[in-house]
Structure 1
Amino acid sequence: MTAAPRDVDILPTPPMLPGLSQTSSMLEWQQDHAGFFQRAYEQLGPVFGVQLGPQQGTVLVGPRYHEFFFKEVDNRLSVPEQYRFVVPMFGEVALAATDTATRRRHVALMQSAFQGRRLSRYTEQAADETEQWLDSLGANGRFDLWNALEGLAMRIAASTLLGPEVRARIDDFRPLLADLARGMDFVLPPDLPLPKFVRRDRARRLLTEMIQPVLAERRRRSDTSPDFLQTLIDDPGVGDEGDDVLVGMALMTIFTGYITTCAQLAWALVLLLQHPAYLESVIAEVDAARTPAAPGSPPASTRPAVGGDRVPPDARLPRLEWALKEAIRLRPVMSHYARYNRTDIELDGYRLPAGWLTMLCPSVAHRLPELFTDPDRYDPERFSPGRAEDRRHPYALIGFSGGFYRCPGSAFGMNEMRVVIASLLARFDLVAPAVEPLPSFDMGVTRPTSPCIIEYRTRN
């Protein structure tokens, strides 16, 4: 990988799938993101071109390319051009901020908000919300995977990020955020008069009207709240940028946090239920963690997880954490990451033209046999200390992106998924869905399509 020489114009651009027009290429990608990238990789190799509507780009597959991608961000690869589609949703904040110093300041604040005592407090709130949801389920029944977990993830995000004022209005807040999500489009101009964009703009206006009075009341009070919204208000840099920036950052954080975590949580639970042998080992681990065995007491697996018999939010559950990593590997919720080429770039004999996108595809990269043994097989133990296949290269696993702009809430997302699944398994026997759920991309992430029915009954 070398810098662009003076005669870079004579180099060929990366090969593209033959026989696809702009329209057909776009339609195939929209129908099956992962399948489209996988087919191109198998035919063309680790560097190939794509045509997504009017936009052209290069997809890079493999950890050494991932390293190049993340290290070149804010150098030859630029961030905000690719995030123009979120400006109508959140404004020019975080990754969409055109000023580099502002963009990095916003991201650094988000990174600091999910560490140490704040992270522990958010995890405890996630556990409380999860227990309330479990209490509402009754002794047995069935729920749709996405609808149930999306509601739970939304309540957790509202509690931890926006505080009690918004949590109390969750029934008003939730559908508006869903309309905001469905107004996301990576390709179409964001100001077209389409119904989904009209609903997006209405949702943004109503959400702003909901949050602005909370900001005003918080500023009048002498006490502070232990949530992300208060972190924004108290920060001397971001707090002085005005209500529009604060609202935008709050909405962007809650949106990205709840939607990606919920989608990854759904896939992790499905995969675990589909593999009963490994599931049993996780249940045993959860049972051992949820109550200390008193002398003469029956085994934990025979005691119902009710009342105070909860899994501690900070319980160490390595087998469950390996299962979460395996879900991130096999079912990453982001179909791609993209950056804008500021200049022509020479890369392994190809020219990546200025104005194109440079892209990574986790779903293809996570199944490379040189990194992951028998890569299509569900095998969480590949992450155990004796194997640690994800450590074969620092950029082998990119489910949370990488570099400076790596997902700031990744630790909280992992904690939330661990808490929800451990609490479910401690209380209920669960039955895997009868039909393999198909992937959907209607909310900007790859998630299981509804209906995907999970049956449950209280453990005895």
Structure 2
Amino acid sequence: MHTGVLVIVAAIFTIVVAILGRLIQNSLLVGKKPPIFEDVPFIGGLLKFLKGPWGLISEGYSRYGEVFTVPVATQRITFLIGPDVAPHFFKASDDEMSQTEVYKFNVPTFGPGVVYDVEQKIRTEQFRFFTEALKKDRLKKYVPQFVMEAEAYFSKWEETGVVDFAEEFSKLVTLTAARTLLGREVREQMFEKVSSLLHDLDEGMIPISTIAPYLPIPAHRKRDRARKELRDIFAKVVRERRASGAKEEDVLQQFIDAKYQNVYGGRHTTDEEICGLLIASLFAGQHTSSITTAWTGLYMTENKAISWDKAVKEQQDMIKAHGSEISYDVLQELDVLHRCVTEALRMHPPLIMVLRYAKTPFSVTTRSGKEYHIPQGDVVAASPNFAHTLPYVFADPLKYDPDRFAPPREEDKKTPFGFVGFGGGRHGCIGSNFAYLQIKTIWSVLMRNFEFELLDPVPEPEYNAMVIGPKPCRVRYTRRKLQVA
């Protein structure tokens, strides 16, 4: 037999043996490790993943239930779907379930020395800076800035017109973020420049970035130039504030004043760290807040009787009791609007997957009592979007029903980790209160000044995006002044 033929036969034999071995391995893992969702050995998982996570999760859950593993290239991704298998994911320490390995692709965007580019004890202190910047006394001072930006933005609308909520709120939330996070100087003197650079930074976060964040492609080169320019701009603002002794009511000021306690000898934050922390806080909240603001309005407008009318009545009651002021305390009393925001977030969390890296093995038990062992080294994924559609967690989960969060139902409290729109456990969203206040401010201003009508059906989610928002939808607005009965 010719050498070439022997090589071909050997190659075919090797491939067949490998495929048979993979199939046998997958079947033997059932009952020990999670079932393998792959179909075509070696490449099936990657092909499914490239088609989009929503279809993958839906098919995997329908076949295998709450726990299954998808091999993607050289990595195993194990999905834990639903509250019964989620506790370890949300409660485990960083020594057990780490964020660093799965989110390190953010380092070129956020910059060196912050968040996922530092060891855990340093990151813990940096998260403390975020927490202190978003305490109640700070939030109270941000609300007037939310109101000012919202009123100024909507004052430019005509008497009637057609808008797309997602597009409008993306612009407005960028303005409020510039004012409350990045600083007055940025908002008033260099907003267009900074906004353009942030756009370039955002455009540099594409699907390939999660796998190869340093790949020398145009989007990444543009991202890196934008990051450098932003660092220089923020450093200049910080220097001028420090030189003048001026203090502002914004998150930037909190980062300038921040000091480490247990690392770096208790020093202040550096200019490079301040820039990175600002970008990280912006990326953590800007898209998610604008998207949830849009979904809130779309569903309230479509469901006048069960949400819009009640929320408008609530605004009338607030005006009667407190006058026209929209303050922190007024926003805290808006329970109807709060439930509308929460229901929009339940139906459409902006992040389809949240990830951890299993640094130690652990076990989970499904709702039916089946136990699976998750090995060290797996990437572990939870899906708030899919978990919120489980009928044993939320009644009639595909139905828009804000009152599911009202007493005595309170469906979000009946099952631990049933509602994970803002994550949960050790890594629950630090900015959730900030986000609620921002969204409720925007809708308070709108409900007091406009009526809305959907010209298209409530749109489908854009599952192909990195952060999942609504597809375009036309909404007609008509200006009016809310009257108190």
**Could you tell me the TM-score, scaled by structure 1's length?**
0.88
1:104 shift after superposition? 0.7
Partner residue of 2:317?
288
* Residue in 2 that maps onto 1:333: 350
Structure 1 match to 2:419: 397
Structure 1 partner of 2:274? 246
- Hey, what does 1:77 align to over in structure 2? 97
Question: Deviation of residue 326 (structure 1)?
Answer: 0.6
Specify which of 188, 204, 207 is matched with residue 230 of structure 2.
Answer: 207
Query: Out of 343, 347, 365, which is 2:364 matched to?
Result: 347
Q: Does 1:19 align with 2:39?
A: yes
- After superposition, residues 3-18 of structure 1 pair within 5 angstroms as 12-18=32-38
1:22: Cα distance to partner?
A: 6.7
Aligned CA distance change for structure 1 residues 11 and 97 (closer, same or farther; 3 Å): farther
- Identity percentage over the alignment? 30
Distance 2:291 2:171 in 1: 12
- Aligned equivalent of 1:38: 58
Please state how far the C-alpha of 1:340 moved relative to its aligned partner: 0.7
Distance 2:73 2:295 in 1: 29
Alpha-carbon offset, residue 396 of structure 1: 1.3
CA distance in 1, matches of 2:343, 2:334: 14
Whole-angstrom distance in 1 between the partners of 2:415 and 2:158: 46
Alpha-carbon offset, residue 310 of structure 1: 5.4
Whole-angstrom CA distance in 2 between matches of 1:53 and 1:214: 45
Cα separation, partners in 2 of 1:72 and 1:120, compared to 1, 3 Å: same
- Which letter maps to 2:359? R
Give the SS at the match of 1:447.
coil
Cα gap change, 1:430/1:211 in structure 2, threshold over 3 Å: closer, same or farther? Answer: same
Separation in structure 1 between the aligned mates of residue 198 and residue 398 of structure 2, nearest angstrom? 35
Q: Secondary structure at the match of 1:59?
A: strand
Contact 1:427–1:459 under 8 Å retained in 2: yes
Please point out which of 155, 174, 180 is paired with 2:201: 180
Q: Which position in structure 1 is the counterpart of 2:172?
A: 152
The equivalent of 1:265 in structure 2 is 293
User: For the residues of structure 1 that align with 2:267 and 2:40, how far apart are their CA atoms?
Assistant: 49
The corresponding residue for 2:14 is none
| CA displacement at 1:54 relative to structure 2 | 4.2
Provide the secondary structure at the position in 2 that maps to 1:136: coil
Q: In angstroms, what is the RMSD of aligned CA positions?
A: 2.4
Q: Which amino acid aligns with 1:314?
A: D
Question: 1:104: which partner in 2?
Answer: 124
**Which residue in 2 is equivalent to 1:277?**
305
Residue pair 2:146, 2:441 contacting (<8 A) in 1 also: yes
Matches of 2:196 and 2:43, distance apart in 1: 32
Does the CA contact (< 8 Å) of 1:141 and 1:457 recur in 2? yes
The change in CA–CA distance for 1:142 and 1:311 in structure 2 (over 3 A counts) is farther
CA contact under 8 A between 2:150 and 2:445: conserved in structure 1?
yes
- Cα 1:153–1:405, aligned 2, differ >3 Å: closer, same or farther? same
Q: SS where residue 275 of structure 2 aligns? A: helix
1:377 aligns with 2:393: no
Deviation at 1:11, TM superposition (A): 6.7
Q: 1:314 aligns with which of 301, 310, 329?
A: 329
Give yes or no for contact 2:234–2:271 (8 Å, CA) kept in 1. Answer: no
Residues 52 and 458 of structure 1: CA distance in aligned 2, closer, same or farther (over 3 Å) = farther
The alpha-carbon distance between structure 1 residues 396 and 10, as it changes in their structure 2 partners (threshold 3 A), is closer
Deviation at 1:18, TM superposition (A): 4.2
Equivalent runs, 1:123-138 vs 2, <5 Å = 123-138=143-158
Q: 1:162 aligns with which of 182, 187, 212?
A: 182
Contact 1:329 1:366 in 2 (8 A): yes
Q: Identify the match of residue 76 of structure 2 among 43, 50, 56.
A: 56
Task: Classify 1:173/1:31 alpha carbon distance in 2 versus 1 (closer, same or farther; 3 Å).
Answer: farther
The residue identity in structure 2 corresponding to 1:182 is E
Q: Is residue 361 of structure 1 aligned with residue 390 of structure 2?
A: no
How far the C-alpha of 1:10 sits from its partner, in A, is 10
The answer to which of 419-428 and 433-442 deviates more is 433-442
Q: Within the alignment, does 1:453 sit opposite 2:481 as a pair?
A: no
Aligned to 1:296: none
The equivalent of 1:299 in structure 2 is none
SS of aligned partner of 2:78: strand
- Residues 337, 361 of structure 1: 8 Å contact kept: yes
Query: What's the counterpart of residue 236 of structure 1?
Result: 259
Residue 329 of structure 1: how far off its partner (Å): 0.8
Mean CA deviation greater in 418-427 or 66-75: 66-75
Tell me if the contact between 1:179 and 1:200 (Cα under 8 Å) persists in the aligned partners: yes
Q: C-alpha displacement at 1:249, in angstroms?
A: 0.5
What's the CA shift string for 1:206-253, capped at 9, x where partnerless?
211221100111111223111111111111228634221111001111
SS across alignment from 1:347? strand
- 2:213 and 2:43 mapped to 1: Cα distance? 19
How many residues in Structure 1 have an aligned counterpart in Structure 2?
Answer: 438
Report if the CA contact (8 A) 2:173-2:289 is conserved.
yes
| Conserved 8 A contact 1:93-1:106 | no
Matches of 2:43 and 2:163 in 1, distance apart? Answer: 38
Q: Secondary structure at the match of 1:343?
A: coil
> How far apart, in 2, do the equivalents of 1:239 and 1:428 lie?
50
Q: What secondary structure does 1:437 align onto?
A: coil
Aligned residues of 1:177 and 1:255 also touching (Cα < 8 A): no
C-alpha deviation, 1:354, in angstroms: 2.3
Q: Give the deviation of 1:24 after TM superposition.
A: 6.2
The answer for the alignment partner of 1:6 in structure 2 is: none
Choose which of 200, 218, 232 in structure 1 pairs with 2:241.
Answer: 218
CA separation of 1:333/1:27 partners in 2, compared to 1, >3 Å: closer, same or farther? farther
- Asked if 2 retains the 8 angstrom alpha-carbon contact of 1:366 and 1:397, the reply is yes
Pairwise CA distance, 1:276: 1.9
Find the aligned partners of 2:218 and 2:120 in 1 and give their Cα distance.
33
- The code of the aligned residue for 1:358 comes to V
Aligned partner of residue 160 in structure 1, secondary structure: helix
Is the 8 Å Cα contact of residues 310 and 423 (structure 1) preserved in structure 2? Answer: no
